[in-house]
Structure 1
Amino acid sequence: MSFVDVLFSAKGRMRRRDYWIYSLSVTAAFFIAGYAVHAFIGTDDFISEITSAGTMSPTPFHYFMFVVQTLGQWPAICIMAKRWHDRNKSGWLALITTTVLLVLDYAPRVLWNLGLPVPVDGWFANMCSLFDTAIVIWIFVECGCLDGTKGPNKYGPSPKGIGVAEDVF
């Protein structure tokens, strides 16, 4: 499977080792890109700016990172979809869980910035964080810890080569 297929196609299956390698690589690339962009349009303190996004007026950096996070999720979704396929589950779970995580992450901030009476550190934000954490733990266990289906399944052959008939001659 080519690098482009891994990042931009949701077809096929992926073993855990490859899932971790690609997921961590994409995460590192986004962090480095975010830090580089921050150097040009952010404020003085990168860490405080990304951790306090909902407690202050949004800066151009916040808007840019929202767009980058939203559009840049495609490689992460494709990688996760392949892992769900290896677990013999629908790859749509990758899109659904990513969308729910984005909504849970941004809902308190967006509502607060719109002037609605939803404090960023109140019960609503705490519930969003609780559900967010539960979903992340579920994805971590399913995609990152549990073994895939042994042999072929409806999403393709085993990425480990299990269940493939060998030609002797």
Structure 2
Amino acid sequence: MRWILMPYKRYADFSGRSQRMEYWLFSLFFWGVIIAIMALAELSGALGESEEPPSLPFVIPLALFILASFIPSVAVTVRRLHDQDKSGWFYLLSFIPYVGGIILFVLMCIGGTRGPNRYGPDPRGEAGDIFG
């Protein structure tokens, strides 16, 4: 659970490094919550008989969650790039249509540099050197 919440604790911390587990568990949590809220909205529409759009009560929580998660999402992605000794400006690749997201996805899958780099010490510490 601490890996999922760590990006929220380091809300706007764009310095340092983050390992793959922190990034991917945060991403899984982020998309899981979005899918769950959308599924609840869809189910409430299928079960409800009201005149208003069924998803309306779910739009506000969904929007608040996305807004609250936007900065931590960018920050953990930048720290993940730092773990590979790449500049955070590589995040801008995601704005290139079609290929940018694929390139960033591949970069998020690649392991970080072993030992310290210009962005800080290895987030895996000594255990990463032994078991990594």
Q: TM-score, normalised by structure 2?
A: 0.62
Q: Provide the alpha-carbon RMSD of the alignment.
A: 3.6
> What runs of 5+ residues in structure 2 fail to find an aligned partner?
47-55, 127-132
1:81-139 Cα distance to aligned partner (Å, 9 max, x none):
11001011112333x245x26xxxxxxxxxxxxxxxxxxxxxxxxxxxxx32x222211
Aligned: 1:161 with 2:125: yes
For the residue of structure 1 that corresponds to 2:125, the secondary structure is coil
- CA shift for structure 1 position 35: 4.0
Matches within 5 A, 1:1-169: 3=6, 4-36=8-40, 38=41, 71=67, 72-94=69-91, 96-98=92-94, 100=95, 131-132=97-98, 134-144=99-109, 146-162=110-126
> What runs of 5+ residues in structure 1 fail to find an aligned partner?
45-59, 102-130, 163-169
Q: 2:49 maps to which residue?
A: none
For the residue of structure 1 that corresponds to 2:26, the secondary structure is helix
Structure 2 Cα separation of the partners of residues 7 and 156 of structure 1: 18
Structure 2 Cα separation of the partners of residues 19 and 150 of structure 1: 17
Q: How many residues align?
A: 114
> In the superposition, relative to structure 1, how do residues 33 and 91 fare at CA in structure 2: closer, same or farther (>3 Å)?
farther
Q: Would you say the 8 A contact 2:93–2:103 is kept in 1?
A: no
- CA shift for structure 1 position 6: 4.0
Structure 2 Cα separation of the partners of residues 11 and 91 of structure 1: 9
> In the superposition, relative to structure 1, how do residues 14 and 139 fare at CA in structure 2: closer, same or farther (>3 Å)?
same
> In the superposition, relative to structure 1, how do residues 23 and 6 fare at CA in structure 2: closer, same or farther (>3 Å)?
farther
Identity score, percent: 27
Structure 1 Cα separation of the partners of residues 79 and 89 of structure 2: 10
Q: TM-score, normalised by structure 1?
A: 0.51
Amino acid of the structure 1 residue aligned with 2:19: R
Structure 1 Cα separation of the partners of residues 121 and 19 of structure 2: 11
